[in-house]
Structure 1
């Protein structure tokens, strides 16, 4: 019975206890008070809903931020590895270019020496 009394407006409880009936003015007052309370509760609900949405949005942002930070770390690591590999390949390329230049110089010297030998041999045979 008490739970029923808690849901009943105070004026109606007084009227029932005193044995009278509620007047129209009293009912209108209760109705206006109820409407005001409903409006207040709806505003509170809307505020709580907005706060919850903000909180969920922040949580999603934080989760996305963690994923992005991890991806940035991964890409930074890959970039470092690729930079190191590039340096090594460039050094190897420089060394190979130097060896090629030396081989070309040796080949030119060998050709020159061979031409000289052929000329000398040719002179010796003509005498």
Structure 2
């Protein structure tokens, strides 16, 4: 066996499909060519876990723990609420409000700006002119 013969056999072992690699792609003469979207649609019905993606996204969504105000913070917040009660309606005010999450424990903190319409002391709700209502128990800070 010559050196060139041995090299050819070695090449054949390392690349066994050399004879078909450069052939043109087969296209059926009886069936029409299918687009990538049509091919993907064939397998979409096999999505075994319907709603799995949404469940993973919901699990990954972060919530914050509700802050517990200490006595000093509660006293300062109460003073600000009393000040709002004494002032006339129509004042632009910024509130930091905790919104409990409907689906998991915790919630989120949001800054809410609005023009004060009225404070319902009996229902413990602050009404803003844009129609928003804020539970006084969910308010963390008032600016």
**Fold in common (TM above 0.5):** no
Mark the structure with the bigger radius of gyration: 1
TM-score (norm 2): 0.21
Normalized per residue, the structure richer in strand is 2
TM-score (norm 1): 0.23
Higher-RCO chain (CA-CA 8 Å, sequence separation at least 6): 2
Normalized per residue, the structure richer in helix is 1
